[in-house]
Structure 1
Amino acid sequence: MGMDAIGAGKTALVTGGAAGIGLATAQHLARAGMNIVVIDLREELFDAAEATLRADGAAEVWTRKVDVSDLAAIKALEAEVKGHFGGVNVLMCNAGMQPGSDIFNTSKTWDKVLAVNLGGVVSVCQVFVPGMMERGAPGLVINTGSKQGITTPPGDPAYNVSKAGVKVFTEALQHHLRESGSLVSAHLLVPGFVFTDLTRRDRTEKPDGAWTPEQTADFLFESLAKGDFYIICPDNDVTREVDEKRMDWAMHDIIDNRPPLSRWHKDWAEAFEAYAKGN
């Protein structure tokens, strides 16, 4: 049902779409002849992104500088898109940031991380999805989460909280869509290690263990074609089997009443390593 939302003359909106996974996903949609609306704050990337999408066959390409944490700006964008294109068929909430954080917020990053990574996804969906449902046509919502929102490793708690929230929100959204009989479906994209501006840091070349954004987008559409909700991407270092063991261990912290984040606890780290190796 979701893949029926993709097609010539239909419209896709991608937040964080000027580069990385967002742009690679938009390219897939452009090749289907769709109108592409790219939302980003990085205006310096707009000309190259637009040229790429037009070369890939997009019908129309819009680029808009919109802060996804600004609800008024999102509402104005929805009205503009609806007025010109009639609405959105594919919505990808991919905008995100990872400036680093600490538990007591000495970095002063918590408010912005939560406002963009979680609040942006919630607001964009709350503004755009009702209109997608009202059209009575197939629709597709893709929200970008993170493995850090599932296994929540220590080191960047604000990012983990934001991405855990995206997971929970997207699950609730898909439940609502399913139970209401809507032709719109929601899906959670969980990338592995991908070489993007978010993960680049001071590196100029892709690490061997990382996937490219294009590989991630390919996996996304293969998974959507199968009807997957949880799209857990591997990479060149981490297999699906390894991901499953890490997630299973994290859930058993609750089930077995172990210390939280026991995978990194001095009394449990050895047991986790044995479990991960299948011993």
Structure 2
Amino acid sequence: MSAAAAVFRASNTALITGAGSGVGLAVAKLCASHSMNLILVDRDDSKLKEAKSSISSKGTVDTHSMDVGSTSDWSTLKQNVEKGGTKLDFLHLNAGIGLKGDWMDGSYFHKIFETNFFGVINGINTFFPHFESNSSSPKAIIVTGSKQGITNPPGNAAYNTSKSAIKTITEHLSFDLAKSSPSTSVHLLVPGWTFTGLTGGGGMKEKPAGAWSAEQVADYLYKKMSDGKFYVICPDNDVDWETDRKRMTWTCADDPQMGDVVYERQPQSRWRDEYKEEAQKTMDGMKLGQRQMD
């Protein structure tokens, strides 16, 4: 098992946004199964109460209703978390929204970015000191992305752009913390078709056969953390990993950076010492447009 998964242990503290339902709640239950202390964050107070009542844990479970797009809410949360001397070991920035709008609807873009992008940035800004230059004790930061931020299908420009930005930010965070705090691992969680209110529920009462449950996503996150992977690209019952790889490769056929995802390397591998020789050999033998000619 990779050291990354060792963060799941009794007495460690996990803070999860968007924890009132779906993937966030499933990851909270995963943490609870390891007797971790939980801080659940969501903008829906009623969902938080339901989530708390559904969790069985030997650790503590606290809830905070807030807007992740509000810096003042994050400041208040930081004060509440730290007033007893608590330091986070596990931070999952998961909160997200999906809206539809058009090119004349500025509020559509602002609302998407306030939650999906700045909700992550605010969380990193607020709790970064908990994860930088820490001791040898394993810590972890998880950010929930989307396949739409990688394959970029048409139909929801603001959402796709926000998730593409999240992918880039999380890659940079991983690269920087690998140098300043090697015991802190960073992971980009990318669910497939998942039966939740945001990505697959849509008012349906029963999970479609092709979709994964949120609990399957949480279990897959644990497996990939155990394997030491940064990219956690979840399959589902309709789309397997090989199909995902082909779609991502097609979208970015001549982009060497996409190789980090499809070959499960660490992000920004071309700038990492352990990949420099391999990257140079690859670029020396690369012919632009070769894929289209094959």
**Fold match, TM over 0.5?**
yes
Identity of aligned residues (%): 38
Q: In the alignment, is the contact (CA less than 8 A) between 1:5 and 1:139 conserved in 2? A: yes
**Structure 2 residue 208 is the aligned partner of structure 1 residue 204:** no
1:230-250: per-residue Cα shift (whole Å, max 9, x none)? 000000100111100100001
Q: 1:114 maps to what in 2? A: 113
SS of the equivalent of 1:84 reads: coil
Q: How does 1:81-230 map to 2 (within 5 A)?
A: 81-84=81-84, 86-102=86-102, 104-106=103-105, 108-136=107-135, 137-199=137-199, 200-230=201-231
Higher mean displacement: 10-19 or 180-189? 180-189
Q: Distance in 2 between matches of 1:182 and 1:76?
A: 29
Q: CA deviation at 1:84?
A: 2.6
The residue type paired with residue 194 of structure 1 is T
Number of residue pairs matched?
Answer: 254
**Root-mean-square deviation over aligned CA pairs:** 1.8
Q: Distance in 1 between matches of 2:215 and 2:171?
A: 25
Q: How does 1:60-79 map to 2 (within 5 A)?
A: 60-79=60-79
Q: CA deviation at 1:179?
A: 1.7
Q: CA deviation at 1:191?
A: 0.4
SS of the equivalent of 1:140 reads: strand
Q: 1:59 maps to what in 2? A: 59
Q: Distance in 1 between matches of 2:122 and 2:191?
A: 22
Q: In the alignment, is the contact (CA less than 8 A) between 1:101 and 1:159 conserved in 2? A: no
Q: Distance in 1 between matches of 2:84 and 2:76?
A: 13
Q: CA deviation at 1:254?
A: 6.0
Q: CA deviation at 1:115?
A: 0.9
**Structure 2 residue 28 is the aligned partner of structure 1 residue 29:** no
SS of the equivalent of 2:132 reads: helix
Q: 1:268 maps to what in 2? A: none
The residue type paired with residue 220 of structure 2 is F
Q: CA deviation at 1:135?
A: 3.9
The residue type paired with residue 240 of structure 1 is W
Q: CA deviation at 1:35?
A: 0.7
TM-score normalised to structure 1 length: 0.86
Q: 1:49 maps to what in 2? A: 51
Q: 1:39 maps to what in 2? A: 41
Distance of aligned partners of 1:22 and 1:85 in 2 relative to their CA distance in 1, 3 Å threshold:
farther
The answer for unaligned runs of 5 or more in structure 2 is 257-290
The residue type paired with residue 63 of structure 1 is T
Q: Distance in 1 between matches of 2:79 and 2:47?
A: 24
**Structure 2 residue 236 is the aligned partner of structure 1 residue 235:** yes
Runs of 4+ residues over 3 Å off in structure 1: none
SS of the equivalent of 2:107 reads: coil
The residue type paired with residue 123 of structure 1 is N
Q: Distance in 2 between matches of 1:217 and 1:254?
A: 30
The residue type paired with residue 233 of structure 1 is C
Q: In the alignment, is the contact (CA less than 8 A) between 2:133 and 2:181 conserved in 1? A: no
Q: In the alignment, is the contact (CA less than 8 A) between 2:132 and 2:181 conserved in 1? A: no
The residue type paired with residue 187 of structure 2 is H
SS of the equivalent of 1:96 reads: coil
Q: CA deviation at 1:69?
A: 0.5
Q: In the alignment, is the contact (CA less than 8 A) between 1:82 and 1:88 conserved in 2? A: no
Q: CA deviation at 1:46?
A: 1.9
Q: Distance in 2 between matches of 1:240 and 1:112?
A: 32
SS of the equivalent of 2:173 reads: helix
Q: In the alignment, is the contact (CA less than 8 A) between 1:187 and 1:231 conserved in 2? A: yes
